[in-house]
């Protein structure tokens, strides 16, 4: 039971049919581990088949709702914005976003038209730059993106979805998800994610039928809830896509026929609902690498043969040799000596980065960072029979790594660390638990980054298969006794 949930302010219309709008938003926010504060922007009379009336909330009531949210709650973790049917409400919202909620992440779903009819949205195109500069993630579907940009289908066919996304980035968007942008072979439901420095497609197979009502509301609300929980935008994106896909596979009120309300089935818990991540220049669809035991146990990362010999003699069965200096004169000697020492003892020795030398020395495996995978000869590593471990820094990179079928995936960094400069924020045990629940049943997992004796128990409680240490042993006052203590806590792994 999670009682300490971050708050998400939900600004949206009330759908009397319950399938979309603020009702669906609140269910979604709760499913994704946050608490919703509803601020109704419009009342709509609608069912799954028609919309008969839309009445915007009066300006005074709307502003009072925002005022109380800012005044009486200690902090808002994120804001989701949906239907706005009155220009005055839009301007009031801008005022609060610029002042009381200035530093709060905002997910804006530009609702121009409902599935069942016209929702009388304000002309968002007129205010597009003002919206984009205030928004963390903008989530139009393809028709909305075309309408807001002024693009035609012909221009999209010529210039491509990447250029359309760039239009919004150039006009102030920090992150954008264009829903249903285009198709790939084998996939029909593809969304495109873009920011200044990252772009990728999220692809799922289309579910038979007409889909489900309320998917756009659920995606944006899940994004807001996950941002409030500290997820990076790209990680929130893939988890939110999985949440919506689960709700399409298992919708609510199935007897309603076509386009039933989206199912709200809890935080996505199965890898089968998460999208394939298709990123230009990144390999996919790899043949499996040789497996590792699911439990690798204590996993020290050291920089010399001397440390390997010392720790293996103390009972360590999984270890990594990380020598960053590629020009070191005795680099291969260090690798070769370490392999020769570990192999007869059944020790799982991984070599960081230097996969060609690891192959030459017949090492157990290699470990590569996410960027290293773009240029590495993965077929060479696999064909040589070496295991492959991959570093990841969140759910988005985890999905990229899964598509390579590696031997293990390192999940990090869990806590703040001084071992290296990290571009990402610490994951924390909650995110580690979510990632472990998604892949840990069939993939070896390693938690890494900032793990110390005082916090290792909450790491182990996630069920992760291994704990990696870079300085926890090598910089201890008594490395030998510290190693014995870590081995008692983490074990030495499965045989």
pLDDT, tens only, 449-488: 999 999 999 999 999 999 999 999 999 999 999 999 999 9
88-99 pLDDT, tens digit each: 999 999 999 999
Cα–Cα distance list, 91 to 88, 98, 303, 482 (Å): 5, 11, 58, 60
Specify the higher pLDDT residue, 180 or 241. Answer: 241
Determine contact, residues 430/441, Cβ cutoff 8 Å. no
Report the C-alpha gap between 438 and 212 in whole angstroms: 24
Q: Give yes or no: residues 199 and 310 share one domain.
A: no
Q: Give yes or no: residues 394 and 260 share one domain.
A: no
Domain count along the chain: 2
In a domain, 290, yes or no: no
In a domain, 2, yes or no: no
For β-strands 189-195 and 199-204, DSSP reports them as: antiparallel
Determine contact, residues 32/243, Cβ cutoff 8 Å. yes
pTM: predicted TM-score of the whole model, two decimal places? 0.95
In a domain, 291, yes or no: no
Mean pLDDT, residues 310-335 taken together: 96
In a domain, 1, yes or no: no
Dihedral angle sign, alpha carbons of residues 413, 419, 422, 426 = positive
Q: Give yes or no: residues 331 and 251 share one domain.
A: no
Mean pLDDT, residues 440-446 taken together: 95
Q: In whole angstroms, what separates CA 256 from the centre of its chain?
A: 33
Structure tokens at 238: 């893939």
Q: Give yes or no: residues 274 and 302 share one domain.
A: no
Looking up residue 146, the CATH number of its domain turns out to be: 3.40.1190.20
Looking at residue 122, its pLDDT comes to 82
Looking at residue 417, its pLDDT comes to 83
123-139 pLDDT, tens digit each: 899 999 999 999 999 99
Domain termination residue (choose one: 245, 278, 311): 278
Structure tokens at 293: 């035991």
Determine contact, residues 111/10, Cβ cutoff 8 Å. no
In a domain, 382, yes or no: yes
Residues 6+ apart with CB under 8 A from 26: 10, 36, 38, 221
22-32 pLDDT, tens digit each: 999 999 999 99
Report the C-alpha gap between 272 and 399 in whole angstroms: 11
Looking up residue 483, the CATH number of its domain turns out to be: 3.20.20.70
Q: Give yes or no: residues 301 and 272 share one domain.
A: no
Q: Give yes or no: residues 57 and 203 share one domain.
A: yes
Looking at residue 258, its pLDDT comes to 67
Given pLDDT bands bounded at 50, 70 and 90, which one contains residue 50?
confident
Report the C-alpha gap between 370 and 372 in whole angstroms: 5
Q: Give yes or no: residues 255 and 355 share one domain.
A: no
Structure tokens at 481: 């006794």
Q: Give yes or no: residues 259 and 312 share one domain.
A: no
Domain termination residue (choose one: 224, 247, 278): 278
Task: Evaluate if residue 165 carries a pLDDT over 50.
Answer: yes
244-299 pLDDT, tens digit each: 999 999 988 766 556 788 999 999 989 999 999 999 999 887 799 999 999 999 99
Structure tokens at 470: 């870079």
Report the C-alpha gap between 61 and 317 in whole angstroms: 65
* Percentage of residues in the chain having pLDDT higher than 90: 80
Q: Give yes or no: residues 319 and 213 share one domain.
A: no
Q: Give yes or no: residues 111 and 256 share one domain.
A: yes
Average pLDDT of every residue of the chain: 92
User: Alpha helices, DSSP H only, in 39-81?
Assistant: 59-72
Mean pLDDT, residues 293-322 taken together: 98
In a domain, 436, yes or no: yes
Neighbouring CB atoms inside 10 A of 441's CB total 11
Q: Give yes or no: residues 144 and 273 share one domain.
A: yes
Looking at residue 116, its pLDDT comes to 47
Report the C-alpha gap between 488 and 339 in whole angstroms: 25
Q: Give yes or no: residues 96 and 189 share one domain.
A: yes
Through-space distance between the first and last CA atoms of the chain, rounded to whole angstroms? 35
Q: Domain containing 479: what range?
A: 297-490
User: Residue 35: left (phi > 0), alpha (psi -120 to 50), or beta?
Assistant: beta
In a domain, 15, yes or no: yes
Report the C-alpha gap between 304 and 309 in whole angstroms: 9
Task: Evaluate if residue 39 carries a pLDDT over 50.
Answer: yes
In a domain, 50, yes or no: yes
Domain termination residue (choose one: 278, 308, 339): 278
Looking at residue 24, its pLDDT comes to 94
Mean pLDDT, residues 33-50 taken together: 89
Task: Evaluate if residue 19 carries a pLDDT over 90.
Answer: no
Specify the higher pLDDT residue, 421 or 7. Answer: 7
Max CA-CA distance within the chain? 77
């Amino acid at each position: 039971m999670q009682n300490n949930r971050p708050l998400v302010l939900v600004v949206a219309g009330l759908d009397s049919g319950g399938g979309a709008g603020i009702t669906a938003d609140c269910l979604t926010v709760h499913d994704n581990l946050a608490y919703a504060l509803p601020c109704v922007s419009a009342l709509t009379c609608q069912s799954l088949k028609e919309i008969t009336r839309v009445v915007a909330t009066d300006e005074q009531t709307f502003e009072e709702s925002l005022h109380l949210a800012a005044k009486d709650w200690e902090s808002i973790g994120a804001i989701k914005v949906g239907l706005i049917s009155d220009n005055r409400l839009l301007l009031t919202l801008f005022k609060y976003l610029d002042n009381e909620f200035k530093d709060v992440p905002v997910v804006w779903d530009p609702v121009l038209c409902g599935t069942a009819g016209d929702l009388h949205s304000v002309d968002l195109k007129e205010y597009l730059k003002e919206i984009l500069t205030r928004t963390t993630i903008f989530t139009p579907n393809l028709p909305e993106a075309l309408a807001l940009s002024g693009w035609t289908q012909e221009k999209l066919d010529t210039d491509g979805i990447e250029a359309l996304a760039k239009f919004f980035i150039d006009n102030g968007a920090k992150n954008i998800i264009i829903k249903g942008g285009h198709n790939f072979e084998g996939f029909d439901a593809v969304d495109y994610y873009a920011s200044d420095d990252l772009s990728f497609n999220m692809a799922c197979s289309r579910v038979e039928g007409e889909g489900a009502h309320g998917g756009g509301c659920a995606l944006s609300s899940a994004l807001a809830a996950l941002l409030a929980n500290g997820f990076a935008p790209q990680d929130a994106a893939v988890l939110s896509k999985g949440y919506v896909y689960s709700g399409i596979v298992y919708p609510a009120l199935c007897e309603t026929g076509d386009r039933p309300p989206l199912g709200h089935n809890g935080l996505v818990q199965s890898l089968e609902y998460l999208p394939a991540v298709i990123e230009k220049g990144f390999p996919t669809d790899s043949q499996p690498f040789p497996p590792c035991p699911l439990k690798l146990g204590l996993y020290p990362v050291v920089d010399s043969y001397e440390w390997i010999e010392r720790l293996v003699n103390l009972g360590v069965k999984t270890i990594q040799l990380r020598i960053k200096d590629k020009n070191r004169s005795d680099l291969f000697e260090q690798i070769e000596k370490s392999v020769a020492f570990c192999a007869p003892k059944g020790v799982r020795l991984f070599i960081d980065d230097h996969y060609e030398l690891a192959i030459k020395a017949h090492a157990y495996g290699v470990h590569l960072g996410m960027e290293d995978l773009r240029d590495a000869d993965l077929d060479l590593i696999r064909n040589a029979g070496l295991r492959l471990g991959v570093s990841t820094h969140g759910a988005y990179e985890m999905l990229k790594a899964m598509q390579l079928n590696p031997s293990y995936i390192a999940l990090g960094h869990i806590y703040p660390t001084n071992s290296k400069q990290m571009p990402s924020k610490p994951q924390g045990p909650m995110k580690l638990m979510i990632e472990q629940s998604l892949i840990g049943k069939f993939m070896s997992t390693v938690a890494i980054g900032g793990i110390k004796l005082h916090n290792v128990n909450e790491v182990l409680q996630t069920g992760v298969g291994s704990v990696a240490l870079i300085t926890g042993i090598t910089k201890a006052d008594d490395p030998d006794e510290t190693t014995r203590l870590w081995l008692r806590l983490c074990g030495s792994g499965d045989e």
